[in-house]
Structure 1
Amino acid sequence: MNLNQIKQPFTEQFPGDFSGDTMQRQTPKMLFSTVEPSGFENPELIIFNQKLSDEIGLGQFNEKSDLNFLVGTDLPQNIKTYATAYAGHQFGNWAGQLGDGRAIYAGEIKNDMGKKSEIQWKGAGATPYSRHADGRAVLRSSVREYLMSEAMFHLKVPTTRALSLALSGENVVRDIMYSGNPQYEKGAVVIRTAESFLRFGHFELLAAQKETDTLKKLLDFTVKNYFPEIISEGEQKYQEFFTAVCTKTADLMVEWYRVGFVHGVMNTDNMSVLGLSIDFGPYSMLDEYDLNFTPNTTDLPGRRYAFGKQGQIAQWNLWQLANSLFQVIKDEKFLEKTLNEFGTYFWKKHDEMLCRKFGFEKLISGDDDFFSQWQSLMQELSLDYTLFFNQLESHFNQKTTFEQLQKISYGLIDDEKLEKFTSFLSEYEKRLSQNSISSEESKKLMQENNPKFTLRNYLLYQCIEELEHGKRDLLEKLITALENPYEEKFPEFSVKRPDGFEGVAGCSMLSCSS
């Protein structure tokens, strides 16, 4: 890899602390601190994303010369590594200064097309923002980070990505369910990339510190580097920036709903101003459809971040961002109007997305009722979200009748449930008849918007268990499947979660433990 191309863009723009001291502390008036990764003596590569390396401009990987870099050891001389400070609201409460507790930036690289990508290690050691933690990561969380970020990319959902996954050679102590039963686990390091890792929390920190001049500088830096479509100046520039963040955030939520993704920890410090999926912790893809499902044990009993609340929480988080930007924008009516319009835009995009999943060419009068009927059916019959649309699409193959869908595909033996399902399919046929596009065009819409494969937690659990014992067969199959999510490469993955995984930690619900 050509590591000499990595630059440090963030440190050139904002005040920083160059002490290199990793003792956990408050760093007022600082947006970053220089810090060196801990370094690991016996790393072991699990997987390297060569396609991504070529895409971002790092080039061909050589395990002998490059492996140590993947875990933050033996760095090139031109790299000055750092971690950033940010603040945030966690589970609805102001948490004050936070920051990159496990993430350390290597810097930024530019490919031949001029596209920039930031690179950072996750799990390479403590930073001043680790809050008395060790800055390490364990294998299970690192596998989940790597695989899910790549799965989201191939599902065409805006996301950070993963370049590599390696064992650190160390054991790390973690209490997986916060049950008072800590155990040693294998340590690991992920390198992840994104155009930028700027979060709502970076802006919240400066606003809380009343650092208005630096807040303006950060806004100017962000617009210049990541929002080239904004060419206005003065307050209008900042207004257009906020509008763009609202739009990108709403679009991201719609994509999460399209594929059935539940983030689980939608704190403001986990929200990207570029509208990217970021920080893959106790997330889950939906198995059975449930608007009240949360994969995060820490989110109980309130279920603040449940599947059905993600759009609402995104808007709440944007309110907190607006409060921070008010120091610069100073137009309360504009901010309120923009935030109030978020819901209108979101629901329009959401319902248009559902139309495509059902093979409808456009929204028409009465679709609200149809979608409500569908949601009630899904929840009442505990139907699998991904499999439902896959089976519905099979009707267009003219090999599967609606009667077969009822009795075979969904296993509806109960007469009352079967009657409800039959009634819904009748409504679906009526709605399809109102399309002006052909059946083939409807089928194509469904194929493009309904993945055949989603990375379910029970599959991740199995993969992690195998990797703990040095086996990589399932990992390789999952990589192939997630790189081709709109094809059915492995029919054995197109099933409901097996009963044996019910209630197993890591298969349906997880904690925030890393």
Structure 2
Amino acid sequence: MSLGDAALAQRLRVSAVGWAGRLRWSDTFTRELPGDAVVPESPYAVADRQTQQDSTEGAEEVAVPIPEASFRASRPVRGALWSWAAPVSQPNPRLVSVSDAGARLVGLTRSALWDDPQAAAAAWSGSRRLPGSRPWAHCYGGHQFGVWADQLGDGRAVSLGEVVSGAHGRWEVQLKGAGRTPYSRFADGYAVRRSSIREYLAAEHMDALGVPTSRSLSLVFTDRIVQREDEELGAVVARLAPSWVRFGSFELPASRREHTAVQALADYVLGRHFPDIIAEEAQGMAGGQNRYARLLRRAVQLTATTVARWQAVGFCHGVMNTDNMSILGLTIDYGPFAFLDAYDPGFVCNHSDPAGRYAFGEQPRVALWNLLRLASPLAPLIERGPCADWSASWAGEPQKATVTATQGILNEYSAVFGAEYARVMRRKFGLFNCANDNDLDTVVQPFLDLLSEAGTDYVYAMRTLCDVPQALAGEDGGSKALARLADLLSGRSLNTVCDPEPWKHRMHAYLQGVYAPRLLEDASGSLTAAVAAVVGERMRRENPRFVLRNWVAQDIIERAEKGDDAWVDRALAVLTTHAFADRLPEELAEAEKYAGPVPEWGEGLQCSCSS
């Protein structure tokens, strides 16, 4: 079958609903960077020409045959950073949820999509074309579990293009689960409902928690049968990011010695996402480092900041391969992720990771290892600069000065990570005024050590700390109230081996002898009832009550599987608008259980790399 065939051409050129005309599409990535020579023209461009020709009376049919195998069958793609693609048509697409915040990023509203849910489902599942879009798929490689995997790429995600939306900037829109591309390898290119629900909710939830992340626009269920371990029903997530460029986007062409492609991609990222680096270089304010060294430094800073926030909220990514690491420091590709139940630095959320490479406590170290992989393809650019002549020979080994400069940049990671982690944790502990250089060692880590010993519920423990300021403002300096809080924390222990009585005494001693004095010091020695109320309220805005733990996600998935699609939309509200709320609105009261104890069946749930 070729794209000259009438049925497929018709699908590619259908008219769109009214709101689609408000989407302002741009194609900087495909215009400015080298593409796949096997399919030199977008299938949608073929359909456009066919439509134009058909509208002319008596015109002959334009025949531009492009076999589907060219843009769907797996194959090596060389000398390119992307390939043209086309989403597949989905059987009976049904709009399940829309993120209003995500929709606003591309100039739409939740209500506009729900005004005609069938049209929205068709558009955001890939079954109907959005005018102006020119779909394509990224080409990249990566290190998976520490081993070079060569070409990977977007195997089940198709980018529709970039939407420019005024104050919200430029967002690349992807459909995940949209069918095969040249990068699908042995997979089918589809996504199942359980993994799609998880990613759709997780991205918006992480944004609500203040963690840099990709975003979600919509979730569409389909009646496609997808074969995994068992037969499952399909879904498509429309997801957004300023860019989906990854560390592996640089690694793959570098591994093939395609230095011009590496430089073109680096220049694109700099020009589109870090124009300040180019401007400062032009003004002589670069401090002796060329733009590529500063690109690496920016990636180090952004990555360190994001991972510090992961650790603070108890987020485990689960599969920190270099192809899943954003050059913009965003959290992307939510697969076997989890939020901590029990506080356990050794927790592994991915049962495809038996060695624990991506354990919760290992994430900061792994991120630095990944940055070292990114430094390798950037090293020739750091050495040769923006005017490099790649026709000249390249020995493949950077000079000593380049190695020294690169090491210096990578060595900044620890300081950036530590500073950001300390900043966020101080706020979670209510230390808003006077920072102490020893807070992590003297206040934060002793508390986490106690949680780790008992396997205490991390989310509950941090939320419980919010009651300490008002406890200290009460009778007897808060001693009895602190003892009650220690008892409550003991009740959320998931480690049945830990002896609760001595642990409670140690927790009480910590709260009264370590945490309370530091909290009082931060409040200039006085915690009146009024001041304590303000501090406690500020802490509650830093420590969420509702978190998308695996057991919560599983409950949402099971309700959807039983036909309660609307619960996904309501759960989104709980995890975004109401994530920090002391109580939920009446219409969401069913979700109060998500702030309760972890059910026995839900303790330590793991997912696989296929979610």
TM range (shorter): over 0.9
Residue of structure 1 aligned with 2:427, choices 356, 359, 365: 356
Moved more, 346-355 or 55-64: 55-64
Q: For 2:412 and 2:24, how far apart are their aligned partners in 1?
A: 43
Give the drift of 1:449: 2.0
Q: For 1:341 and 1:78, how far apart are their aligned partners in 2?
A: 43
Q: Which amino acid aligns with 2:220?
A: A
**Local SS of the residue matching 1:354:** helix
Aligned to 1:486: 580
Moved more, 119-128 or 105-114: 105-114
Are positions 1:188 and 2:235 aligned together?
yes
Q: Percent identity?
A: 35
Q: For 1:347 and 1:403, how far apart are their aligned partners in 2?
A: 32
| Matched-pair contact (CA < 8 Å) for 1:453–1:488 | no
Question: Structure 1 residues 444 and 466, CA, compared in 2 at 3 Å: closer, same or farther?
Answer: closer
Question: Structure 1 residues 352 and 156, CA, compared in 2 at 3 Å: closer, same or farther?
Answer: closer
| Matched-pair contact (CA < 8 Å) for 2:25–2:162 | yes
Q: For 2:306 and 2:427, how far apart are their aligned partners in 1?
A: 16
**Local SS of the residue matching 2:121:** helix
Are positions 1:418 and 2:504 aligned together?
yes
Moved more, 110-119 or 200-209: 110-119
Q: For 1:197 and 1:58, how far apart are their aligned partners in 2?
A: 21
Question: Structure 1 residues 168 and 474, CA, compared in 2 at 3 Å: closer, same or farther?
Answer: closer
Question: Structure 1 residues 57 and 284, CA, compared in 2 at 3 Å: closer, same or farther?
Answer: same
Aligned to 1:316: 369
| Matched-pair contact (CA < 8 Å) for 2:266–2:292 | yes
Aligned to 1:333: 404
**Local SS of the residue matching 1:21:** helix
Residue of structure 2 aligned with 1:10, choices 29, 54, 57: 29
Q: For 1:141 and 1:326, how far apart are their aligned partners in 2?
A: 37
Q: For 1:350 and 1:207, how far apart are their aligned partners in 2?
A: 33
**Local SS of the residue matching 2:28:** coil
Residue of structure 2 aligned with 1:163, choices 177, 194, 217: 217
If the length of structure 1 is used for normalisation, what is the TM-score?
A: 0.93
Residue of structure 1 aligned with 2:483, choices 378, 403, 411: 403
**Local SS of the residue matching 1:104:** strand
Q: How many pairs are equivalent?
A: 502
| Matched-pair contact (CA < 8 Å) for 1:287–1:496 | no
Give the drift of 1:114: 6.3
Residue of structure 2 aligned with 1:39, choices 68, 86, 89: 89
**Local SS of the residue matching 2:276:** coil
Q: For 1:22 and 1:316, how far apart are their aligned partners in 2?
A: 33
Aligned to 2:61: none
**Local SS of the residue matching 1:410:** helix
| Matched-pair contact (CA < 8 Å) for 2:90–2:126 | yes
Moved more, 413-422 or 333-342: 413-422
Deviation per residue, 1:32-80 (Å, 9 max, x gap): 1111111113111111224422332245323243321111112145322
Give the drift of 1:430: 2.4
**Local SS of the residue matching 2:72:** coil
> Which structure is larger by alpha-carbon Rg, 1 or 2?
2
Aligned to 2:453: 380
Aligned to 2:597: 496
Give the drift of 1:375: 2.4
Deviation per residue, 1:476-509 (Å, 9 max, x gap): 4422211222213344322221113346xxxx10
Q: Which amino acid aligns with 1:22?
A: R
Are positions 1:461 and 2:558 aligned together?
no
Moved more, 61-70 or 7-16: 61-70
Residue of structure 2 aligned with 1:431, choices 518, 521, 525: 518
Q: For 2:603 and 2:306, how far apart are their aligned partners in 1?
A: 29
Question: Structure 1 residues 366 and 197, CA, compared in 2 at 3 Å: closer, same or farther?
Answer: closer
Are positions 1:239 and 2:293 aligned together?
yes
Q: For 2:362 and 2:250, how far apart are their aligned partners in 1?
A: 24
**Local SS of the residue matching 1:349:** helix
If the length of structure 2 is used for normalisation, what is the TM-score?
A: 0.79
Q: Which amino acid aligns with 1:253?
A: V
Q: For 2:76 and 2:232, how far apart are their aligned partners in 1?
A: 30
Aligned to 2:607: 510
Q: Which amino acid aligns with 1:420?
A: R
**Local SS of the residue matching 1:481:** helix
Aligned to 2:466: 393
| Matched-pair contact (CA < 8 Å) for 1:390–1:452 | yes
| Matched-pair contact (CA < 8 Å) for 2:305–2:416 | no
Question: Structure 1 residues 114 and 163, CA, compared in 2 at 3 Å: closer, same or farther?
Answer: closer
| Matched-pair contact (CA < 8 Å) for 1:481–1:489 | no
Give the drift of 1:460: 0.8
Q: Which amino acid aligns with 2:421?
A: H
| Matched-pair contact (CA < 8 Å) for 1:249–1:275 | yes
Q: Which amino acid aligns with 1:321?
A: L
Gaps (5+ residues) in structure 2? 1-18, 40-69, 283-288, 384-401, 494-498, 585-591
Are positions 1:91 and 2:167 aligned together?
no
Residue of structure 1 aligned with 2:179, choices 107, 122, 125: 125
Moved more, 138-147 or 208-217: 208-217
Aligned to 1:55: 105
Q: For 1:130 and 1:319, how far apart are their aligned partners in 2?
A: 27
Q: Which amino acid aligns with 1:9?
A: T
Aligned to 2:271: 224
Are positions 1:258 and 2:312 aligned together?
yes
Residue of structure 1 aligned with 2:330, choices 276, 289, 309: 276
Give the drift of 1:456: 1.2
Aligned to 2:5: none
Gaps (5+ residues) in structure 1? 176-182
Give the drift of 1:108: 0.6
Q: For 2:100 and 2:412, how far apart are their aligned partners in 1?
A: 42
| Matched-pair contact (CA < 8 Å) for 1:287–1:384 | yes
Q: For 1:148 and 1:113, how far apart are their aligned partners in 2?
A: 24
**Local SS of the residue matching 1:449:** coil
**Local SS of the residue matching 2:541:** helix
Deviation per residue, 1:19-44 (Å, 9 max, x gap): 24311011011111111111113111
Q: Which amino acid aligns with 1:388?
A: A
Q: Which amino acid aligns with 2:552?
A: L
